[in-house]
Amino acid sequence: MDNYHVCRLAVAPIRKEPSDRSEIVSQLLFGDRVEVLEKTEKWCLIKTQHDNYEGWMDYKQLQKISDLQYHDDKAYSALTPTQLDNTLIASNGTKYYLSPGSTLPNFEDGFCYLGDERFEVKSKPIIADKAKFKTQVEAVAKFFENTPYLWGGRTLFGIDCSGFVQIVYKLNGIQIKRDASQQAEQGQIVDFLASAEL
């Protein structure tokens, strides 16, 4: 079995069980890499590269990539910016409308590539820089203001609490885990009482 794949849709659901009726536990965005752990005729159990999250997906929502392509982190550094119009156009003319924080694999000269498939990128991508985190995090977070709540969501069209935090951090150059309980275990403990002013 070819284990390495990338999401080829603007957004694709990750489900708890291999069924269209199963709860959505997270979402993949365009360009997110996954490892296929198990496969049935329609469904595959995947583990995401960016946060090791596991769940079930419809296999046709993925594009196969090589081991070399999967492990080339630099090729996955271009992201869609915090703006509403993040459009890709496939070579067959199909338009993809991406949410901020989607990955543009192998971006070069206005195009990104999934395997042999080429997409024209209509917006100017960003390379997230964690050195600018303190100055940019508030503006990035405010961009998602009034986004509807969606359990398992990670996009401007619907997002949950930990998905919001994960995407805001991603757009600022820091990869963190998917669930709030996992996120709470990351980073360093800050002693607020020591610096509190009365």
User: Are 111 and 156 found together in one domain?
Assistant: no
- Cut 0.85: pTM above it: yes
196 falls within a domain = no
CATH classification of the domain holding 12:
2.30.30.40
187 falls within a domain = no
188 falls within a domain = no
170 falls within a domain = yes
The closest of 174, 176, 171 to 82, measured between CA atoms, is 171
User: Are 62 and 84 found together in one domain?
Assistant: no
Domain count, the chain: 3
User: Are 32 and 44 found together in one domain?
Assistant: yes
User: Are 61 and 107 found together in one domain?
Assistant: no
User: Are 147 and 163 found together in one domain?
Assistant: yes
47 falls within a domain = yes
User: Are 40 and 94 found together in one domain?
Assistant: no
Residue 152 has pLDDT above 80, yes or no: yes
**What residue numbers bound the domain in which 163 lies?**
128-180
Alpha-carbon distances, residue 178 vs 49, 50, 168, 195 (angstroms): 12, 9, 12, 30
User: Are 8 and 57 found together in one domain?
Assistant: yes
The per-residue pLDDT for range 22-34, each reduced to its tens digit, is: 999 999 999 999 9
3-state secondary structure the chain: CCCEEEECCCEEEEECCCCCCCCEEEEEECCCEEEEEEECCCEEEEEECCCCCEEEEEHHHEEECCHHHHHCHHHHCEECCCCCCCEEEECCCCEEECCCCCECCCCECCEEEECCEEEEECCCCEECCHHHHHHHHHHHHHHCCCCCECCCCEECCEECHHHHHHHHHHCCCCCCCCCHHHHCCCCCCCCHHHHCCC
Residue 195 has a pLDDT of 63
Query: For 110-114, 130-134, 147-151, which range has the lowest pLDDT when averaged over its residues?
Result: 130-134
User: Are 64 and 84 found together in one domain?
Assistant: no
190 falls within a domain = no
User: Are 60 and 45 found together in one domain?
Assistant: yes
The per-residue pLDDT for range 84-131, each reduced to its tens digit, is: 999 999 999 999 999 999 999 999 999 999 988 999 999 999 999 999
In whole angstroms, what is the distance from residue 103 CA to residue 63 CA? 14
